[in-house]
Structure 1
């Protein structure tokens, strides 16, 4: 019934700060920004007079990668909670890299909170291969992951 993932949406507290992080620090390409408002927006988000700034960023020109959609609700109180890998939710958004050690050093240089250094995994016995990965947080504390298949 469904097809490929169209985009991945993240609610953020400060759209400009998040665009800067995803664009300047992670290197995603800024695709554009829209303002959502009106009766359709109110109905979809189930909130009267709802206004949302929405930005789209993508890490590649390839059509197979869904963009990251950043949403900042205007004139609304956002409940900011610390992301937790052990709570039912989307646990993380994972990005591919060809050089995980370089990416880790890049994030460290920009003061990004990394939850660990890159770790090596070997799941070849289970048919998944080898990889290196680590988790880190965006400016709102949303957990992200960097992975390099080996």
Structure 2
């Protein structure tokens, strides 16, 4: 039995740029500074030949994320859609969705809709989606 989820790992283009991006939108705490990882032993475990990457741990709210930046053995840049198997999205709850929508646009990111949509079949839940600088789908929602 797996007793608890420890963290979610996200492979990113650049750790520092990713942290800076999220600091514009939410509180991000780096609780383990980036470490450089190489070696065949690690490569066997993660199934990457000659691994060469940095890893750092951040906390957003009470959730932990491992940010992974491959320096040498870069893989494919996958941009998954909501209906793709293994596609993920990060969801954030806010109290003023219109303000966050404007801030996202001011940062140069394009939401998938021209305004937050209202899901009437979900009790009036308001939300919008956009992609972060790594292509990860972000959901911003507000419960009315």
| Bucket of the pairwise TM-score, normalised by the shorter protein | 0.7 to 0.9
Aligned-pair CA distance for 1:91: 3.1
Change (3 A) 1:47 1:81: closer
**Which one of 113, 120, 123 corresponds to residue 122 of structure 1?**
120
- SS of 1:18's equivalent in the other structure is helix
- SS of 2:63's equivalent in the other structure is coil
Change (3 A) 1:5 1:120: farther
**Which one of 120, 129, 141 corresponds to residue 135 of structure 2?**
141
Are 2:18 and 1:21 equivalent residues in the alignment? no
Q: For residues 1-150 of structure 1, what are the structure 2 equivalents within 5 Å?
A: 1-31=1-31, 32-60=33-61, 65-116=62-113, 117-123=115-121, 129-150=123-144
Q: Please say if residues 29 and 57 of structure 1, whose CA atoms lie closer than 8 Å, have aligned partners that are also in contact.
A: yes
Q: Please say if residues 56 and 67 of structure 1, whose CA atoms lie closer than 8 Å, have aligned partners that are also in contact.
A: yes
Greater Cα offset, 6-15 or 34-43? 34-43
Q: Please say if residues 80 and 87 of structure 2, whose CA atoms lie closer than 8 Å, have aligned partners that are also in contact.
A: no
Greater Cα offset, 41-50 or 107-116? 41-50
How far apart in 2 are the matches of 1:6 and 1:111? 32
How far apart in 1 are the matches of 2:4 and 2:98? 30
- SS of 1:57's equivalent in the other structure is strand
How far apart in 2 are the matches of 1:83 and 1:130? 27
- SS of 1:47's equivalent in the other structure is coil
Aligned-pair CA distance for 1:39: 4.4
Aligned-pair CA distance for 1:149: 2.0
RMSD value, Cα: 2.1
Q: Which runs of 4+ in 1 moved over 4 A?
A: none
Change (3 A) 1:112 1:30: farther
Query: Where in structure 2 are there 5+ consecutive unaligned residues?
Result: none
Tell me the matched-pair count: 142
